[in-house]
Amino acid sequence: MIEFTLNGKKVSWKGDPNMPLLWFVRDQQNLTGTKFGCGVALCGACTMHLNGSPIRSCSTPMSVLAGMSVTSIEGLDSAPAKAIQDAWQALDVVQCGYCQSGQVMSAVALLSQNPKPSDSDIDAAMQGNVCRCATYHRIRAAIHQAADSLAKEA
Ligand code: FES
Ligand code: FES
């Protein structure tokens, strides 16, 4: 049996250890905020946090999760997460929305590790998250706005 934490709650899995984490979160836990895009770790739509770092849950097998802490979009609860979500709304970042759960997860991980990212820091952190609606300029602006609002609170 594989035991780990999902959004602060202890969970376990007795099934196929090769099943992707994304299936567990969406189909077993009914948390559908995380999206399936490419299925091969190339688009970022399925991004979650594993011990605070972004991972592609479509390509992360259940077998590596024992004792780890997983966060999906539903479990975000931190000052950087609130700042990112507020900036996303203020700047109306979203277009179709399909990629945005993954975008937000990568942006929150970035801001949690680097509270004042440069444009190149943002581009490097976000390069694995594809947006077919090309919201990249608004994403970058929203990350800067979130960083500014965090700095004002500090
Ligand atoms: S669905 Fe996981 S990276 Fe595309
Ligand atoms: S908002 Fe449509 S794919 Fe990114």
Q: What integer is the mean pLDDT of 115-123?
A: 97
d(CA 4, CA 75): 14
Is 153 a residue whose pLDDT tops 90?
A: no
Q: Residue 43: nearest ligand to its CA?
A: 1
Q: The domain 2-73 belongs to what CATH superfamily?
A: Beta-grasp domain (3.10.20.30)
Give tens-digit pLDDT for 6-58: 999 999 999 999 999 999 999 999 999 999 999 999 999 999 999 999 999 99
With tokens 């770790």, the residue in question is 41
Pocket test for ligand 1, best of 49, 59, 73 (most atoms within 8 A of CB): 59
The reply to whether domains 2-73 and 79-153 share a CATH topology is no
Report residue 154's pLDDT band, with 50, 70 and 90 as the boundaries.
confident
The per-residue DSSP string of 43-83 comes to S-TTEEEETTEEEEGGG-BGGG-TT-EEE-GGG--SHHHHH
Instruction: Show me where the domains of the chain are located.
Output: 2-73, 79-153
Structure tokens at 8: 């602060």
Over the chain, what is the mean pLDDT? 97
- State mean pLDDT over 136-152: 97
pLDDT at 114 over 90: yes
Distance in angstroms (rounded) separating the CA atoms of residues 138 and 127: 14
Q: So what's the pLDDT on residue 86?
A: 98
- Considering the entire predicted model, what is its pTM? 0.97
Mean pLDDT of 138-150: 98
Asked whether residue 145 carries a pLDDT value surpassing 90, the answer given is: yes
Shortest-distance Cα residue to atom 4 of ligand 2? 131
pLDDT above 70 coverage of the chain, percent? 100
Query: Which residues form ligand 1's pocket by a CB distance below 6 Å?
Result: 36-39, 41-46, 56, 58
The arithmetic mean of pLDDT across residues 55-68, rounded, is 98
CATH of 79-153, one of 3.40.50.2300, 1.10.150.120, 3.40.80.10, 3.40.190.10: 1.10.150.120
